[in-house]
Amino acid sequence: MRAYIIRRLLLVIPTLWLVTVIVFFFIRLVPGDVAEMMVTEQTDITGLTVETFRAELGLDVPAYIQYGRWVGVVRNKDGEYAGLFQGNLGTSLWSRRPVLEQIIPRLPVSFELGLLALVVSQLIALPVGIYSAVRQDTGGDYIGRTLAITCIAVPSFWLGTLIMVYPSIWWQWSPSMLYIAFFDDPLGNLGMFIIPATILGMGMSGTTMRMTRTMMLEVLRSDYIRTAWAKGLRERVVIVRHALKNALIPVITIVGLNVPFLIGGSIILEDIFNLPGMGRLLIFSLNRRDYTVMSGINLLIASFVLLVNLAVDLTYAYLDPRVHYK
């Protein structure tokens, strides 16, 4: 197990390097020039030109040199190495503040939204998927399958927009737009997060629900399950102790693959519900072409996805004793 973990962690290094290349260069393909935007916003100051801003921001050198400075293998304008290798995600082009300083206060918000959405998705998907498999081709099964298709088909941003708009028109009510910190008012904080977390969790639960039903049906037809029934074990014991654990292996894989969807959905919902998380900062930075902030956030998201996939792989050994990492 230890050797497997070390190998996987070593594989993370070239993967993250490829991510840095893709993130850095593709972000610069977004239409718009940050230097021109700065000149436009500061028209009251004379003597400012686009070339002046480009030189000040370090954008007057070729892209590969900019990349080298961001990574930390090329000296910056001050003659120092100050990049990713030195633990520095860069400095915002607009505020001139360190990117890490802007991201850290927003991490708990995005983490709380993602964690609540994950909990909601499993609370919906697992019971409904198990019930649909145990009561195959009954009315409850058809309702569960319809619910799964609905959760997959309905876009979370569309549903979030409807909840923001129509209740305010019909009942003069709308979700609170003022952020409440958890330690200031835990119940108020939970009340602010429960709607976007439920919307995001519903969108994630559809595929998990269908996979749970499919795998439970396959496991329930196994010989050892028939033997358990023949021994006279109660239905709950057969389902929970014998069938569910083996059926969860592909389900865990689906949960791991849904993490990027979870992050993408949280970016939109944070903006809709005015949650000061990383997603809202990413959209704000995208509108202002703040390359360093966008690159830093994308790199952190990619690192988190890689670690989640590693955790999913390690979970297999717990769920299935036949799995060995040698």
pLDDT tens-place string over residues 165-177: 888 888 888 777 7
Domain contains 142: yes
- Give residue 252's pLDDT: 79
**pLDDT at residue number 248:** 78
Q: Please report, for the domain that includes residue 187, its CATH number.
A: 1.10.3720.10
Q: Which amino acid is at 170?
A: W
Average pLDDT over residues 56-78: 83
Asked if 232 and 196 sit in the same domain, the reply is yes
Domain co-membership, 54 together with 139: no
For the stretch 196-212, pLDDT in tens is: 999 988 888 888 888 88
* Mean predicted lDDT score pLDDT of the chain: 83
In tens, the pLDDT along 26-47 reads 888 878 778 888 777 765 555 5
Do 207 and 188 share a structural domain? yes
Count of structural domains, the chain: 2
pLDDT-based confidence at residue 146 (cuts at 50, 70, 90): very high
| Rounded distance between C-alpha atoms, residue 94 and residue 107, angstroms | 21
Angstrom distance (rounded) from CA 201 to CA 4: 32
Bridge partners (DSSP) listed for residue 172: none
The pLDDT assigned to 128 comes to 92
What's the CA gap between 96 and 293, in Å, rounded?
A: 11
Instruction: Tell me the per-residue pLDDT of 304-318, one tens digit each, with 9 for 90 and over.
Output: 888 888 887 777 766
> Which pLDDT score is estimated for 143?
92
Q: Encoding tokens for residue 203?
A: 């969108």
Q: What percent of the chain has pLDDT over 70?
A: 94
- Are 235 and 254 in the same domain? yes
**pLDDT at 149 exceeding the cut of 70:** yes
Q: Do 246 and 163 lie in a common domain?
A: yes
**3-state SS track over the chain:** CHHHHHHHHHHHHHHHHHHHHHHHHHHCCCCCCHHHHHHHHCCCCCCCCHHHHHHHHCCCCCHHHHHHHHHCCCCCCCCCCCCHHHCCCCECCCCCCEHHHHHHHHHHHHHHHHHHHHHHHHHHHHHHHHHHHHCCCCHHHHHHHHHHHHHHHCCHHHHHHHHHHHHHHHCCCCCCCCCCCCCCCHHHHHHHHHHHHHHHHHHHHHHHHHHHHHHHHHHHCCHHHHHHHHCCCCHHHHHHHHHHHHHHHHHHHHHHHCHHHHHHHHHHHHHHCCCCCHHHHHHHHHHCCCHHHHHHHHHHHHHHHHHHHHHHHHHHHHHCCCCCCC
Does residue 299 form part of some domain? no
Q: Is residue 130 part of a domain?
A: yes
User: Average pLDDT of 131-148?
Assistant: 89
Largest CA distance in the chain: 88
d(C-alpha 99, C-alpha 92), whole Å? 6
pLDDT at position 43 is 56
How far apart are the C-alpha atoms of 289 and 28, rounded to whole Å? 8
- Domain of residue 245: give its range: 105-288+314-319
Please check whether residues 89 and 234 belong to one and the same domain: no
Q: Are residues 91 and 159 in the same domain?
A: no
Using CA atoms in the order 116, 122, 128, 130, what is the torsion angle rounded to 10 degrees? Answer: -160
Task: Write the pLDDT tens digit of every residue in 201-248.
Answer: 888 888 888 888 888 888 888 888 888 888 888 888 888 777 887 787
Residue 300 lies in a domain: no
Q: pLDDT higher for 156 or 49?
A: 156
Label residue 88 by pLDDT band (50, 70, 90): confident
Whole-structure pTM value? 0.81
pLDDT confidence of residue 298: 86
Per-residue pLDDT, 1: 66
Q: 247 and 168 in one domain?
A: yes
Of 30-44, 88-102, 188-202, which range is least confident?
Answer: 30-44
**257 and 126 co-located in one domain:** yes
| Domain end point (choices 99, 129, 151) | 99
